[in-house]
Amino acid sequence: MTAASKEALEAALAAAEAVLADADAAREDLDQAMEGLVKAIGGLEYGVQKLHLETAIEAAEAILADGKNYENAEALAEAAASADVNGDGKADTSDAVLILQYAAEKIAAF
C-alpha cells in the first residue's frame, strides 16, 4: 500500500482505539470512529504491484487456450488484453480480481 494511505489507516485506527478506550465516549464519537475506519480502509491505495495482475493474466490466457468451453471467451480475451476490466482508467489488482472471479465462475459452471 502507499505510504499515505497506510498513514491514513494508522491514524484512523489510533483514533478509533482511543474512542473505544473512552468509557464516556458518546454515540456520535463511536459513529465517527467507525466511519473514519471504513473510509481509511476504502481509501487504501496499493503501490505498483504487478504480480497479482500477471497471475490473473496467466489464468485468463490458460482459460482462453481452451476457449471453446466458455460462452464469453472473446470478452475475457479483451479484458485480459486491456486489463482495465472495471473501466476506472487503470490496470490494477481490482481488475485482476475481476478476471479471476469471472474465470472461477466459468470453471465452476463447467
Are the beta carbons of 45 and 5 closer than 8 angstroms? yes
Do 96 and 53 touch, CB atoms closer than 8 A?
A: yes
Question: Which sequence spans correspond to the domains of the chain?
Answer: 3-42, 50-109
Give, for all 110 residues of the chain, the pLDDT tens digit: 788 888 999 999 999 999 999 999 999 999 999 999 888 888 887 766 676 777 777 777 776 665 555 456 566 566 555 666 677 777 767 777 777 777 777 666 65
The pTM for the full model equals: 0.45
